[in-house]
Amino acid sequence: MTQGPLTTEAGAPVADNQNSETAGVGGPVLVQDQLLLEKLAHFNRERIPERVVHARGAGAYGTFTVTADVTPYTRAAFLSEVGKETEVFQRFSTVAGNLGAADAVRDPRGFAVKFYTEEGNYDLVGNNTPVFFIRDAIKFPDFIHTQKRDPYTGSQEADNVWDFWGLSPEATHQVTWLFGDRGIPASYRHMDGFGSHTFQWNNEAGEVFWVKYHFKTDQGIKNLTAGEAAVLAGTDPDSHQRDLRESIERGEFPSWTVGVQIMPAADAASYRFNPFDLTKVWPHADYPVIEIGRLELNRNPQNVFAEVEQSIFSPSHFVPGIGPSPDKMLQGRLFAYGDAHRYRVGINADHLPVNRPHATKARTHSRDGFLYDGRHGGAKNYEPNSFGGPAETGRALWQPYDGFGAGTGDHPTPLHAEDDDFVQAGNLYRLMSEQEKERLIANLAGAISQVSREDIAERAIGNFAAADADFGKRLESAVRALRD
Ligand code: HEM
């Protein structure tokens, strides 16, 4: 049974969708064939700019359920009661590849969760790694340029990647992580997620806590070796995307146990290292992970373009009781995402079904712009007004930051005793079994041996030697063996 006649965009029935209208049999095509013109013109405009990073990804809807009382730490309503459920939309991604890139590559994975709370959407835009390559947003465009295509060759270049990492010793911890076993997850379901940054929680009394989020996969960690990934990337480029969709179709809903590390505000100034430095983890011995919830993905999007490609996540989307920390990376990100959304999806991106609040209503005085749907009707578009419009609450989402010194330079002030680029990279190496170390060194050597200049390779190796002498020595001989 047909659903009724095929129509034009304006709804008029279409007589012939197989042949253009011509001036007589075999004659030239007529400009009066509006269906043809409409189809060709619409087709030319099907693409929007892909995300400048994390272009390649997949998403799903689900549910977050609170499993512990966290009201002593945050007044966020969606976290206010054990058993409380909140709808989520989550998008996973790789970082460097373009929209059509293969999934099974060595690259961090994006782990972005949108909580549709009754106080507005809360976005946690994290990764599958607890740390990052750099600690200041001002280096991000340079860093990403080295991960993307070289202006001359049009390809990703080992020289650029290792030049930047060698000259940015703070990357050593994340690079050690990335070239270890967890650097290529077997799927989006078989990896952990992290909020990565330190965030602020504040409770009803206005007390401040610094927190880090952890999402532990209930499917267990599963990774690919470099060899397995190379085959899979070639034979099944959509491996992660398909795995996520099919597991949900089968009713095998992936889930994560959600936890937080909580640091009382007073600890920050005197902690061993700067607790807002994104290149470092907080050792669990200092701040244990406390379980607070469960995240389950249980519904596939019906239209990938509408719901995944046009989805927008921003680290600046907070709700009452949650806010930023002075982490210099996070501060830069608070600007970057909204700006990217306005360019990539447009000024009314927040109005799309996947992006708008689901458990409350957005009540702003902003209006109009491309593709405005008239949602505000005739309501007044200014404040203050005498017509009962929405009004400000007088209470900020987060507490003001009580800084402990002003300063510039690579490290935020004050310097903490262990503000160092190498200690945690060395600790990670020393934690590994002999087999893990062998694979790490083989992965790193394989990549560094592609570099064309000796000084770039030496500097890169030098950072691993600074993390651990044995690490540096073994890496140097492995690189030499491949280059000779
Ligand atoms: C995507 C900027 C660091 C995780 C993006 C996008 C931009 C961006 C512009 C594309 C947004 C869009 O078009 O929708 C930056 C800047 C950073 C930074 C300037 C550093 C200052 C990070 C870090 C993480 C991260 C540290 C994780 C801890 C993500 C994720 C996405 C993303 C998961 C994809 C979101 C989605 O699925 O739509 N980033 N980023 N980024 N970024 Fe970052």
Question: Using one digit for the tens of pLDDT, what is the confidence trace for 417-429?
Answer: 788 999 999 999 9
Partnered with residue 296 across adjacent β-strands are: 63, 255
**pLDDT tens-digit map of 45-93:** 999 999 999 999 999 999 999 999 999 999 999 999 999 999 999 999 9
Rounded to the nearest integer, the mean pLDDT of the chain is 95
CA-based torsion, 27, 31, 35, 36: positive or negative? positive
Per-residue buried b or exposed e for 179-197, using 16+ beta carbons within 10 Å of the residue's own CB: bbbbbbbbbbbbbbbbbbb
Q: Which residue has the higher pLDDT, 266 or 442?
A: 442
pLDDT at 411 over 50: no
Q: Does residue 216's CB lie within 6 angstroms of at least one atom of ligand 1? A: no
How many angstroms separate the CA atoms of 212 and 43, rounded?
44
Residue nearest to atom 37 of ligand 1 (CA): 91
pLDDT at 261: 98
Among residues 127, 160, 300, 443, the one annotated as catalytic is 127
Instruction: Give the mean model confidence (pLDDT) for residues 315-336.
Output: 97
Helix (H, G, I), strand (E, B) or coil at 165: helix
Helix (H, G, I), strand (E, B) or coil at 261: strand
Residue 93 backbone dihedrals phi, psi, to 5 degrees: -160, 165
In sequence order, what are the residues at sequence separation of 6 or more whose Cβ sits closer than 8 angstroms to the Cβ of residue 283?
A: none
The bridge status of strand 199-202 relative to strand 85-94 is unpaired
Instruction: Give the mean model confidence (pLDDT) for residues 293-320.
Output: 98
Q: Does residue 212's CB lie within 6 angstroms of at least one atom of ligand 1? A: no
Pure H helices in 355-453: 423-431, 434-448
CA-based torsion, 204, 206, 207, 208: positive or negative? positive
On the question of a cis peptide bond just before residue 324, with omega within 30 degrees of 0, the verdict is no
pLDDT at 385: 92
Q: 327 and 198 in contact (C-beta within 8 Å)?
A: yes
Residue 207 backbone dihedrals phi, psi, to 5 degrees: -75, 145
pLDDT at 483: 86
pLDDT at 217 over 90: yes
Distance in Å, CA 97 to ligand 1 centroid:
13
**pLDDT classification of 222: cutoffs 50, 70, 90:** very high
Residue 240 among the catalytic residues: no
Instruction: Give the mean model confidence (pLDDT) for residues 118-124.
Output: 98
Distance in Å, CA 28 to ligand 1 centroid:
50
pLDDT at 327 over 60: yes
> What is the helix (H) or strand (E) element at residue 230, kind and residue range?
helix 226-235
pLDDT at 36 over 70: yes
Cα-based distances in Å from 103 to 100, 234, 243, 295, 391: 9, 10, 11, 23, 46
Tokens of 313: 């996540």
ipTM above 0.95, yes or no: yes
In sequence order, what are the residues at sequence separation of 6 or more whose Cβ sits closer than 8 angstroms to the Cβ of residue 166?
A: 456, 459, 460, 462, 463
pLDDT at 310 over 70: yes
How many angstroms separate the CA atoms of 42 and 160, rounded?
39
Q: Does residue 53's CB lie within 6 angstroms of at least one atom of ligand 1? A: yes
pLDDT at 408 over 60: no
Residue 274 among the catalytic residues: no
Burial class of residue 338 in the structure, from the number of CB atoms within 10 Å of its CB (0-12 exposed, 13-18 middle, 19+ buried): middle
Best probe residue, ligand 1, of 47, 52, 53, 170 (max atoms within 8 Å of C-beta)? 53
How many angstroms separate the CA atoms of 20 and 40, rounded?
12
pLDDT at 406: 43
* Share of residues in the chain with pLDDT > 90 (%): 94
Per-residue buried b or exposed e for 376-412, using 16+ beta carbons within 10 Å of the residue's own CB: beeeeeeeeeeeeeeeeeeeebbbeeeeeeeeeeebb
Best probe residue, ligand 1, of 56, 95, 111, 125 (max atoms within 8 Å of C-beta)? 125
**pLDDT tens-digit map of 330-366:** 999 999 999 999 999 999 999 999 999 999 999 999 9
Q: Does residue 126's CB lie within 6 angstroms of at least one atom of ligand 1? A: yes
Cα-based distances in Å from 164 to 139, 283, 426: 10, 27, 20
In sequence order, what are the residues at sequence separation of 6 or more whose Cβ sits closer than 8 angstroms to the Cβ of residue 228?
A: 104
Q: Does residue 54's CB lie within 6 angstroms of at least one atom of ligand 1? A: yes
Helix (H, G, I), strand (E, B) or coil at 189: coil
Helix (H, G, I), strand (E, B) or coil at 93: strand
Best probe residue, ligand 1, of 124, 337, 344, 345 (max atoms within 8 Å of C-beta)? 337
pLDDT at 409: 44
Q: 211 and 322 in contact (C-beta within 8 Å)?
A: no
How many angstroms separate the CA atoms of 215 and 217, rounded?
6
pLDDT at 410: 43
CA-based torsion, 179, 324, 54, 254: positive or negative? positive
Residue nearest to atom 4 of ligand 1 (CA): 126
**pLDDT classification of 484: cutoffs 50, 70, 90:** confident
Helix (H, G, I), strand (E, B) or coil at 275: coil
How many angstroms separate the CA atoms of 347 and 396, rounded?
25
Q: Quote the strand ranges of 78-197, DSSP E.
A: 85-94, 109-117, 120-127, 193-194
Instruction: Give the mean model confidence (pLDDT) for residues 473-483.
Output: 96
pLDDT at 128 over 90: yes
pLDDT at 400: 87
* Share of residues in the chain with pLDDT > 70 (%): 97
pLDDT at 269: 86
Q: Does residue 144's CB lie within 6 angstroms of at least one atom of ligand 1? A: no
How many angstroms separate the CA atoms of 176 and 424, rounded?
10
